[in-house]
Amino acid sequence: MTKLAYAILLAFASVTLFADDHEMSVPNFVPLEIQQCEFADNKDMDDFLKLIPDWNKLLDEYSQFPYSGWTVTPHYRTETNYTFDFGWLGVSDTWENFGSIYDVWFKNGSELAAKFDRIRTCKTQTIFGSQAIRPAKVRSETGVMLVSDCKLKDGITPMELAAADAKWNSYLDSIESDGGIYRWFPGPGAATDADYTFKNVITASSMTEWGKSSDTYVNGGGIQTQILIYGDMLTCDNPRMYQTSNMRDVRN
């Protein structure tokens, strides 16, 4: 069974467990793509951004197929493991709309695509099924994103994980946390030897917001609370930090 298929089963199994605001009334995994890109010689982000208005203009003509996008710039990471110059994060509201906007791109975006290709190459491209565990309360043009690879312990049931998520959300409410938590389950394009169940993604609207949350997590009892709630249900590696910049946001 693929990890994305497992994720869908997990959501269906847990949907009837809770009725509060922290649990989705309907299982929902939206399509999210990640591209890891490198700039061509003598090209940089300024060259890339010059093409964004034309890209937005094309997507505006097909606004019935919502698609939002961000640039993702590595901040804290190990170069030997992560060598790309920047990333692209794109998301749509449904899988059909995601496919439809790509049909538009293949049919009507070839000229623009060629211009992008002269600026950067993106040899790693992956689709994930993204599940919102805690939607971010604050949206901003720029933000912070931390990504960890997590592996669920054998034998842990969807119900156990969902119950822990609900408790963790209640704790985050109690400390008035505004950040988001998402799980990305790998789909097409993922490495065949990927040794993780999902990517755990934490977002903040600014470095200040991230720092405030980190103070509470590190020095205010957050670590201890998380250990009490999740125990040894899953293991996650050290997070990588990225700076995000919105290029288009048509989410509801």
pLDDT at 24: 42
pLDDT at 12: 45
Q: Which CATH number fits domain 3-248: 3.40.50.720, 3.30.70.100, 3.40.50.10480, 3.40.50.360?
A: 3.30.70.100
The rounded average pLDDT for each run of 10 residues, N- to C-terminus, in the chain (252 residues) is: 53 44 62 98 98 98 98 92 92 98 98 98 97 94 97 92 95 96 97 94 98 96 97 96 97 78
User: What would the two tokens of residue 115 be?
Assistant: 């211009």
Alpha carbon separation from 215 to 67, 210, 211 (Å, rounded) = 34, 9, 6
| Torsion from C-alpha of 128, 185, 77, 192, nearest 10 degrees | -90
Residue with tokens 């034309």: 54
pLDDT at 47: 99
Q: 33: buried, middle or exposed (CB in 10 Å: 19+, 13-18, 0-12)?
A: buried
pLDDT at 154: 95
Q: Helical H runs in the chain?
A: 3-14, 45-49, 52-60, 95-108, 110-117, 158-174, 207-219, 222-230
